[in-house]
Every structure is written in C-alpha cells, then in structure tokens.
C-alpha cells in the first residue's frame, strides 16, 4: 500500500508536482512510495516498484557504489546532498540505461525516517557537454591522432616486415638491398651484414643470373608496376633454393620508382613434390619407363616433326612370348623381376633421341625418331631382341625369354597418328602367328588379315556350342604287325560358310585367349567318350588307346588332372588307354612343373607322349628326366626336304636312343612304302601318316578298327 494514500491530499499532490522522479526509501533501500514521473522514467507501473529495493533501478556495475553512498548519507546527511556524475545511469525495465543525476534528502513522517531520492533525466545536458568538449579538443585530437596513426603505421610495418614469416627485401633502383628481414636471411643462408648493400647476384644460381636485373629494368622503365617471377638461389652449403618472387615499386610524385619491395616464397619442396607427382603420372611405377600418357605426348610431337621436316619415324611394339607361363609357373614376383630386368636391358640399347615405354603387362613400345629408312627400324628391333639372348636368372630360377616385334614406319604423307600404335599391334600379332621371336613390318594386308582373324575368333566362340567343332581320329599303326593300336584325336572345324577351317589357323587363335581351355576340354571329353566305345576284337586282348594333344595353357592348368579323372570315371575308360601329347616346347617351359604334372599322371597310369621330338632344344638332356611313354619323331626327319643323308642319320640316332631308354618310338608323317621300310628296318615301333589314312570321323575310325581286327 502506498504511504501517502493514508495522508492528506496535499501531500500526494506535492509528489506529483515535482519535476524530478521521486522515491521514498527506508534505511534498507526499500521503496515506500514514488511519483508517476519516476515510474514513467523506469518503464514500470507504480505498483511494480512499491516494496522493491531501489537497487533494482541501479545498473549492476554501480550498485556497490550506490549502497556505499546511501549508507554514508544515512549516517551523516551533511556529506551528500546532490550526486552529479557523468557515469550515473538508471536501469530501465527493458534493460536500457538512462543518463541521470541523483539527489538525496531526509524526511521524517510519523516518527519514521525516510530518504527522499530525486532522480533527474540529464540526457540533453550531457549531450551538450559532450559537444562542447569535442569542439574545444578538436585541434588537439587531430594532432594527437596523426601522431598516433604514424606510430601505429610504423609498428604495423615492423610487424609486417621484421616479424613476417615470409622472406622480404627492400632494394634500390640498382637492386642493392636496403633492408632484409630474418626470414630472408634464413632462406638465403646469409647474415644481414652479408646482404645489405649488395645485390642478389652473388648467391643466385648461375643459370638464373639476369632474371632479376631484367625485372628491375622493366619496372624502372614503367613497362610494368608489379611482377611475379621464379628464380633459384644458392645457399653457402650448396643447397639450391627454388623461389617465387613477388615485386612491386614505390614511386615518387613524378612516378619514378624510388625503391622496390619484394616478397619471396621458398617453393623448393613444392616444386619437388610437383615434379615427383608429374613423374609418377608419366612413368610406369614398376620399371620406371615412360608410361602410355608420356609416350602418346612424345608420339604427337614426333609425328608433327616428321610432317613438318620430313624423314621417317617408327613405332615398335614388343610383346614377350608366353609371359603368362612365367607368372603361372613362378609367381608374379619373378614375373615382375623379369620385367624390370628386361626394361634395364632395353634401356641400354635405346637411343637418346628415342622413347621406350612400358605399354602394359608384358608389352613395350619404342618410338624411333630421325630415321632415314625402314632398315634402321629393323636394326633397332634386332638390337632389342638381342638383349634377350642371355638367360635371366632370379633366385636360382633360370629363364630363356623370347619376344615378338611389330613395326610400323611412317613418313610425311599424313598417316593418322591414332592408327600408328594399332598398326604396330597388328604387325606384332602377325609376328606371333608366324612363330616366337619374329619381327614383322606392318602392311595394309596385315590389318585386313587381323580383322579377319578377329572375326574368326568371335565365330570360334560360337562354334564351341553350336556343334561346328568335331573330333577326327588318325590311326596309329604297329609297324611290325600293321594293326591299328590307337588313334590320335585331332580337332576339326566345319564352318557353315567358310567350310573346313584348318587347325593351324584356328588353334593359334584360340591359344591367344582362354578359349584354348574350352577347346582342350571339348577335345578331351570327346576323345575319352570315343575310346570307351572301342572294344577288343579278334584275338586281341587290349583295346586301342587314344592320344589327345594338350596346349601349354592346358598342360599347366592346375585343374587338368581333376578334369581327366572326372572324364575317365564318367565314361568308364581305363586310364592306360589315354595318352596325353605335349610338345618339347610345352614340356620344357618349366621343367619342375612339368615333372610334377607327369608324376600325377603316372600315378593315374596315364601315359605321356613327347611330340615333335628333335625339333626343340635341350631335348637329350631332359629326355631321361621326363621319361615319356612315347617319343614321337617329327615328320621333318621322316620325309626331309633337304640334306636327306644327314636327316637319315639323325632319324637312326633318335630311334636307337628311344629303344635303349625303353620308350615307344612313333614316327609321324609316313606317306610312302620306302619311308615305312626305312623305319621298320630301324626297329621303330609305331607310325602314322597318309600311307594308311588321314584323320577321319569317329564312324570311319570304328570301321577301320573293325577291318584291322579282322585281318
């Protein structure tokens, strides 16, 4: 309840009539009453303030001083009657502060002592005072501000220059250093005393001397105002610092450059990293040779030079022969070591003007420039292949590696650059088709034949499932009795449009992919099924056997033995009636793996025939170790084209060797009675050839077998 509500009316009118905000507070600061003007100044309603401590109207930072002042006044009313302070404010309900003055006075009513607080809004007076002070002190402030600004500017300069982590230099028109910071001293590897008054020539990398001097000339002449350039510095210890310099000039009123400011950035590590990343992007990570991206760039440049200047260029594509066999036999670690050693050997014979590239896998590209004739490209290919003559030895593994090379030569007649590598690739495949270790130059006819072979491969995939592939059987004859003792299973392809496709055409194509495994599985499946239908006839106690040719991929396939066992069980064929034929080349690719496979086959009672004997290499040294059941003498010894006397001597030696080693000797390609008599006199065991029959379908083979048994 407001105090004056119980007093005569004139007292209430007195409070409201005063121009200041009035509050009556007790000794503890509790508001007993107030006028409407004070309520309006605070933003509160009258009833919200009555009974509250007046400190709620004092900003927090001024409350302690307010309590002290009020307590002092209460104890001695003569100490403070009016409190004027520029920092006094009233805290309003909305949180804002109002600039005010306070005055205290005492009032006794009904034996109770009150303090009358008069609060006056002095906002207008304070604004006027601020304006007066500002006007009087303007000149002083301007002078003080200018001095302060200069001091701050100098301080900022010291921080920006001396304390800058980036190397910085002030130099005059002649490039002499006027000032350098600590960072530049560290970067240059020199003290201030060694730098000031001198230019950068004495520690600039020799090849870069003149770069800064040219920049100074251009700025001084007004050609440019600022520039960024690169150069190299030499530290005392010989370390080369690659730097990026940003330079600008300070000019006088006439526009003349009076001094220069340079900011220097050490980009040595940045350049080294960029160079490393660039190298990695353009080089093969295994061999360190150029990769396809770098080769393509060099090829574009070389092609343009030939078109512009004339002459010849060449692309050689070199592909290793049976590199997959190396990986399969010895693992990829040995394969990688072989590639690295090959790359090193090739680099030794690479001309400085040419580019050697690892194309991918086991293929290498060679770009030859500045040629005068295709013969030079041929000579380069021969040098590359010549590096393969010496065997490769890795961890007691000894490898003899060969390769095939395709060459395309171009002149200034405008050969499409995109076709160059494609044509070299086509020539390389033609070299492989002709035999390992060949070199072939591209001709338009090769491209046509390559397209035809590609089409044939696609059709061969379909032939496996469409019934176009057939197995024919050529009889094997006992030369002493002329009886048929077995058949060699030979694959034939009857194309619906091309007719009969020769095996020496489609088999090599299949060997270039996994398709050869499909053909091999088909041949084994059909041959085992056919042999299971051949029963003993006449007085014979044993049935004819069948021989099946295995490719290198199939012979070294880990699943070979399991597949053979499955087919034998499926058809109920005795294992000893199956003979597997492998050539010398296949058997000797990896002698250790070959011995392992042959041991597994021996445990199954499956025999092995060594085909084309006498045409390979190291035959005699490995013959006893391999111990094949049958040795097949190549037809080149049976019907020699040249030097018949020498061939007859070799033929006799081979037959005699086979007999002494208790191996069955089989001669291929017998076409005449004279050849038969010769072999019979040498005690050759078996023979096959057109003298008796070519390979025939299963029905004819069965009929032939019946006639042989009836004799």
Kindly state the tokens that stand for 643.
Answer: 């030097």
Kindly state the tokens that stand for 268.
Answer: 């040595």
Residue 21 near residue 34, CB atoms below 8 Å = yes
Residue 348 pLDDT more than 90? yes
Residue 548 near residue 578, CB atoms below 8 Å = yes
Identity of the highest mean pLDDT range in 22-36, 93-107, 314-328, 620-634 = 314-328
Q: Which residue has the higher pLDDT, 25 or 684?
A: 684
Residue 323 near residue 360, CB atoms below 8 Å = no
228 shares a domain with 291: no
Crossing angle of helices 591-603 and 619-626, rounded to 10°: 30
Confidence of residue 588 (pLDDT cuts 50, 70, 90): low
Identity of the highest mean pLDDT range in 10-19, 59-68, 252-261, 344-353 = 344-353
* SS3 track for 339-392: HHHHHHHHHHCCCCCCEEEEEECCEEEEEEEEECCHHHHHHHHHHHHHCCCCCE
682 shares a domain with 595: yes
Residue 232 near residue 206, CB atoms below 8 Å = no
Work out the average pLDDT over 238-245.
Answer: 90
Confidence of residue 9 (pLDDT cuts 50, 70, 90): very low
The answer to the question of residue 137 being in a domain is: no
Give the angle 535-538-539 at the CA atoms, nearest 5°.
Answer: 105
State the Cα–Cα distance between residues 303 and 286, nearest whole angstrom: 28
Tally of structural domains, the chain: 4
Strand pairing report for 545-549 and 484-495:
parallel
257 shares a domain with 294: no
Residue 168 near residue 262, CB atoms below 8 Å = yes
550 Cβ neighbours under 8 A, 6+ residues apart: 520, 560, 580, 581, 582, 586
Instruction: Please say which residue of 416, 442, 468 terminates a domain.
Output: 442
**Helix, strand counts (H, E) of the chain:** 27, 27
Task: Give pLDDT, residue 365.
Answer: 95
163 Cβ neighbours under 8 A, 6+ residues apart: 181
Work out the average pLDDT over 107-124.
Answer: 76
Task: Give pLDDT, residue 637.
Answer: 85
251 Cβ neighbours under 8 A, 6+ residues apart: 257, 258
- From residue 464, how far is each of 379, 560, 571 by CA, in Å? 43, 19, 21
480 shares a domain with 601: yes
Q: Which residue has the higher pLDDT, 308 or 328?
A: 308
State the Cα–Cα distance between residues 619 and 615, nearest whole angstrom: 8
Residue 79 pLDDT more than 60? no
Confidence of residue 250 (pLDDT cuts 50, 70, 90): confident
Confidence of residue 80 (pLDDT cuts 50, 70, 90): very low
CATH of the domain at 482: 3.20.20.450
296 shares a domain with 268: no
Residue with tokens 């007719």: 499
Helix (H, G, I), strand (E, B) or coil at 166: coil
277 Cβ neighbours under 8 A, 6+ residues apart: none
H helix or E strand, kind and range, residue 300: helix 292-309
Identity of the highest mean pLDDT range in 139-148, 243-252, 316-325, 384-393 = 384-393
209 shares a domain with 242: yes
- From residue 102, how far is each of 33, 48, 126 by CA, in Å? 17, 21, 14
State the Cα–Cα distance between residues 348 and 327, nearest whole angstrom: 25
The answer to the question of residue 682 being in a domain is: yes
The answer to the question of residue 583 being in a domain is: yes
The answer to the question of residue 161 being in a domain is: no
Instruction: Please say which residue of 442, 473, 497 terminates a domain.
Output: 442
- DSSP string computed for 2-24: -GGGGS-HHHHHHHHH-SSEEEE
Task: Give pLDDT, residue 367.
Answer: 96
- From residue 177, how far is each of 194, 196, 248, 406 by CA, in Å? 10, 5, 14, 63
The answer to the question of residue 144 being in a domain is: no
- From residue 310, how far is each of 267, 279, 367 by CA, in Å? 42, 31, 16
Domain residues for the domain of 321 are: 283-442
The answer to the question of residue 425 being in a domain is: yes
472 shares a domain with 422: no
Task: Give pLDDT, residue 320.
Answer: 93
Crossing angle of helices 591-603 and 560-571, rounded to 10°: 20
Burial class (CB in 10 A: 0-12, 13-18, 19+), 296: middle
Residue 131 near residue 82, CB atoms below 8 Å = no
Work out the average pLDDT over 443-458.
Answer: 84
Work out the average pLDDT over 248-274.
Answer: 83
Helix (H, G, I), strand (E, B) or coil at 557: coil
471 shares a domain with 420: no
Work out the average pLDDT over 632-638.
Answer: 86
Strand pairing report for 664-667 and 686-687:
parallel
202 shares a domain with 101: no
Task: Give pLDDT, residue 406.
Answer: 95
Residue with tokens 């040249």: 642
What is the share, in percent, of the chain residues with pLDDT greater than 90? 30
What is the share, in percent, of the chain residues with pLDDT greater than 70? 84
Residue 494 pLDDT more than 60? yes
Residue 316 pLDDT more than 90? yes
Look at residues 591, 259, 664, 256 and name the one whose alpha carbon lies nearest to residue 400.
Answer: 591
State the Cα–Cα distance between residues 488 and 580, nearest whole angstrom: 10
- DSSP string computed for 226-251: EEEEEEEEE-TTS-EEEEEEEEEEEE
The answer to the question of residue 135 being in a domain is: no
Strand pairing report for 226-234 and 240-251:
antiparallel
Give me the chain's average pLDDT, please: 83
Task: Give pLDDT, residue 467.
Answer: 87
331 Cβ neighbours under 8 A, 6+ residues apart: none
Look at residues 300, 417, 288, 407 and name the one whose alpha carbon lies nearest to residue 356.
Answer: 288
Residue 680 DSSP label = H
Q: Where are the alpha helices (DSSP H) in 435-502?
A: 444-466
Task: Give pLDDT, residue 18.
Answer: 64
The residue count of the chain comes to: 711
CATH of the domain at 65: 3.30.450.20
Confidence of residue 435 (pLDDT cuts 50, 70, 90): confident
Instruction: Please say which residue of 73, 104, 129 terminates a domain.
Output: 129
Task: Give pLDDT, residue 621.
Answer: 61
Look at residues 214, 209, 240 and name the one whose alpha carbon lies nearest to residue 227.
Answer: 214
Residue 648: how many other CB atoms lie within 10 Å: 15
- What digits encode the pLDDT tens for the residues 520-573? 999 999 999 999 998 866 556 578 999 999 988 888 888 899 999 999 999 999
Task: Give pLDDT, residue 8.
Answer: 45
Longest dimension (CA), the chain: 164
State the Cα–Cα distance between residues 663 and 476, nearest whole angstrom: 16
H helix or E strand, kind and range, residue 484: strand 484-495
Residue 262 near residue 246, CB atoms below 8 Å = yes
Q: Which residue has the higher pLDDT, 397 or 386?
A: 386
The answer to the question of residue 432 being in a domain is: yes
- What digits encode the pLDDT tens for the residues 356-370? 999 988 999 999 999
542 shares a domain with 491: yes
Residue 394 near residue 329, CB atoms below 8 Å = no
Work out the average pLDDT over 207-219.
Answer: 87
461 shares a domain with 396: no
Work out the average pLDDT over 194-216.
Answer: 88
Residue 663 pLDDT more than 80? yes
Look at residues 550, 679, 568, 676 and name the one whose alpha carbon lies nearest to residue 610.
Answer: 550
State the Cα–Cα distance between residues 647 and 26, nearest whole angstrom: 142
496 shares a domain with 354: no
């Amino acid at each position: 309840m407001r105090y004056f509500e119980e007093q005569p009316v004139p007292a209430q009118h007195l409070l409201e009539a005063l121009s200041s905000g009035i509050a009556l507070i007790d000794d503890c600061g509790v508001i007993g009453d107030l006028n409407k003007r004070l309520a309006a100044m605070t933003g509160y309603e009258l009833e919200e303030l009555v009974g509250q401590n007046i400190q709620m109207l004092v900003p927090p930072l001024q409350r302690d001083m307010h309590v002290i002042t009020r307590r002092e006044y209460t104890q001695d009313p003569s100490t403070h009657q009016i409190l004027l302070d520029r920092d006094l404010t009233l805290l309003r309900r909305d949180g804002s502060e109002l600039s005010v003055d306070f005055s205290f006075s005492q009032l006794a009513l009904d034996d109770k002592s009150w303090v009358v607080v008069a609060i006056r809004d002095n906002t207008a007076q304070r604004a006027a005072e601020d304006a007066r002070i500002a006007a009087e002190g303007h000149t002083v402030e301007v002078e003080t501000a200018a001095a302060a600004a200069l001091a701050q500017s100098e301080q900022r300069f010291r921080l920006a220059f001396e304390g800058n982590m980036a190397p910085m230099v002030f130099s005059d028109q002649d490039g002499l250093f006027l000032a350098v910071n600590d960072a530049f001293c560290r970067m240059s590897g020199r003290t201030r005393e060694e730098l000031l008054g001198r230019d950068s020539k004495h520690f600039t990398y020799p090849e870069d001397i003149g770069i800064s001097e040219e920049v100074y000339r251009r700025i001084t002449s007004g050609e440019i105002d600022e520039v960024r350039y690169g150069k190299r510095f030499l530290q005392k210890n010989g370390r080369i610092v690659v730097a990026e310099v940003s330079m600008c000039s300070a000019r006088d009123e006439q526009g003349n450059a009076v001094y220069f400011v340079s900011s220097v950035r050490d980009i040595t590590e940045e350049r080294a990293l960029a160079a490393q990343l660039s190298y990695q992007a353009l080089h093969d990570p295994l061999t360190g040779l150029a990769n396809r991206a770098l080769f393509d760039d060099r090829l574009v440049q070389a092609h343009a030079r030939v078109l512009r200047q004339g002459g010849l260029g060449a692309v050689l594509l070199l592909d290793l022969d049976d590199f997959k066999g190396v990986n399969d036999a010895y693992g990829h670690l040995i394969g990688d070591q072989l590639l690295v050693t090959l790359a090193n050997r090739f680099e030794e014979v690479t001309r400085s003007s040419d580019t050697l590239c690892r194309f991918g896998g086991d293929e290498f590209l060679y770009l030859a420039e500045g040629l005068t004739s295709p013969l030079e490209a041929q000579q380069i290919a021969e040098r590359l292949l010549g590096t393969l003559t010496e065997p490769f030895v890795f961890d007691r593994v000894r490898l003899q590696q060969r390769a095939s090379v395709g060459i395309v030569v171009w002149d200034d007649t405008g050969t499409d650059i995109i076709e160059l590598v494609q044509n070299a690739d086509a020539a390389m495949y033609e070299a492989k088709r002709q035999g390992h270790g060949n070199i072939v130059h591209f001709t338009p006819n090769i491209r046509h034949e390559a397209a035809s072979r590609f089409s044939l491969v696609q059709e061969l995939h379909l032939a496996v499932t469409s019934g176009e592939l057939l197995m024919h059987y050529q009889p094997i004859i006992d030369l002493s009795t002329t009886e048929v003792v077995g058949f060699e299973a030979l694959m034939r392809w009857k194309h619906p449009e091309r007719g009969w496709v020769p095996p020496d055409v489609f088999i090599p194509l299949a060997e270039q992919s996994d398709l050869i495994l499909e053909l091999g599985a088909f041949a084994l499946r059909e041959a085992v099924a056919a042999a299971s239908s051949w029963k003993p006839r006449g007085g014979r106690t044993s049935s004819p056997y069948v021989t099946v040719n295995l490719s290198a991929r199939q012979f070294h396939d880990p699943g070979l033995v399991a597949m053979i066992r499955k087919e034998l069980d499926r058809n109920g064929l005795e294992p000893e009636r199956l003979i597997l034929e492998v050539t010398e080349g296949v058997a000797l690719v990896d002698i250790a793996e070959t011995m392992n496979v042959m041991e597994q086959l021996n445990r199954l009672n499956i025999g092995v025939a060594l085909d084309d004997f006498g045409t390979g290499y190291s035959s005699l040294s490995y013959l006893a170790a391999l111990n094949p059941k049958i040795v097949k003498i190549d037809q080149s010894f049976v019907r020699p084209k040249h030097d018949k006397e020498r061939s007859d001597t070799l033929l006799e030696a081979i037959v005699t060797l086979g007999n002494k080693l208790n191996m069955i000797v089989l001669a291929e390609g017998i076409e005449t009675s004279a050849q038969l008599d010769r072999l019979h006199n040498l005690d050759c065991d078996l023979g096959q050839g057109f003298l008796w029959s070519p390979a025939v379908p299963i029905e004819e083979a069965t009929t032939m077998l019946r006639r042989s048994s009836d004799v």
